Amino acid sequence: MVYRPVPIVTVIVVLLSTITQASQKTKPVLFVEKDGFPSGHGSPEGVACDLNQSFIKHDIKRFEDACIKPFTGGASRKAYDRFLISMIRMIEGERGKTVPNPGEPKSILKVYAVRGLSKDGPASYGYSAFGFKNVEFVDIAVTLNDGKQVVRRTLVIQDASGKWYAHPDPYSSPLLCDGLTDETASKKDIGDVYTLKKH
């Protein structure tokens, strides 16, 4: 058998190709809490979870922290302020109930990875009108108090500072949520997209 030396250039190309493929398969890290779900303004999935957890745990502070701050003026601003107040009152009312509202979430089952809207309009409008860096959405599967399992869709916004917030009333801003309800069901779990690490 005759052995022919492999040109050094070929070896380098093969090595670089292998390194490139490995780096492409490396998933970004997403930090999660003890319950296995993300939290906080560092990720779109985190604030979407916080919004849902605020209803599950009847946590007004978490609700207020997760929600995007009022960013419009006039009648739209007043309507959004009224909506936030009504949600806070609802959460307060749920705290004292011995029989929970059957249509409210009891627990989170699964968090899907953030997705961009198919239409370019919402992101372009958010950037030009308010300086938002991103307008996307997160689907979260939850179990309701009546035992039913549903998927709740949350519009998430990355503001000019880079922090993510949830928009609890996206339909009050039609240009920001254009096409939101038309998007297909999410399929990729956060574990498919991220390497999950506990704090």
Query: In this model, does residue 20 exceed pLDDT 50?
Result: no
Return contacts of 74-81, CB within 8 angstroms, 24+ apart: 76/172, 76/173, 79/172, 80/169, 80/172
User: For residue 14, is it within any domain?
Assistant: no
Alpha-helical regions (H) of the chain: 8-25, 44-56, 60-66, 74-95, 121-130, 190-193
108 sits in the region (left: phi over 0; alpha: psi -120 to 50; else beta) called: beta
Torsion of CA 93, 95, 101, 107, to 10 degrees: 140
User: For residue 4, is it within any domain?
Assistant: no
Q: Please, are residues 51 and 39 in contact by the beta-carbon 8 Å criterion?
A: no
Confidence at residue 42, expressed as pLDDT on a 0 to 100 scale: 98
Torsion of CA 97, 103, 104, 106, to 10 degrees: 90
Confidence at residue 108, expressed as pLDDT on a 0 to 100 scale: 98
Mean pLDDT of all residues belonging to the chain: 90
* Of the listed ranges 61-65, 94-98, 179-183, the one predicted with least confidence: 94-98
Q: Please, are residues 117 and 137 in contact by the beta-carbon 8 Å criterion?
A: yes
Query: In this model, does residue 18 exceed pLDDT 80?
Result: no
User: For residue 2, is it within any domain?
Assistant: no
Q: Which amino acid would we find at residue 21?
A: Q
User: For residue 12, is it within any domain?
Assistant: no
Task: Write out pLDDT tens, residues 116-173.
Answer: 999 999 999 999 999 999 999 999 999 999 999 999 999 999 999 999 999 999 998 9
User: For residue 22, is it within any domain?
Assistant: no
Q: Please, are residues 104 and 145 in contact by the beta-carbon 8 Å criterion?
A: yes
Sign of torsion, CA 135 136 142 146?
positive
Record the pTM.
0.86
Return the CATH number at 100.
Answer: 3.10.450.50
Confidence at residue 17, expressed as pLDDT on a 0 to 100 scale: 52
Based on the structure, what is the number of domains in the chain? 1
User: For residue 9, is it within any domain?
Assistant: no
Confidence at residue 52, expressed as pLDDT on a 0 to 100 scale: 98
Distance CA 115, CA 188 (A): 10
Task: Write out pLDDT tens, residues 55-76.
Answer: 999 999 999 999 999 999 898 8
Confidence at residue 8, expressed as pLDDT on a 0 to 100 scale: 57
User: For residue 55, is it within any domain?
Assistant: yes
User: For residue 11, is it within any domain?
Assistant: no
Range of the domain at 72: 31-198
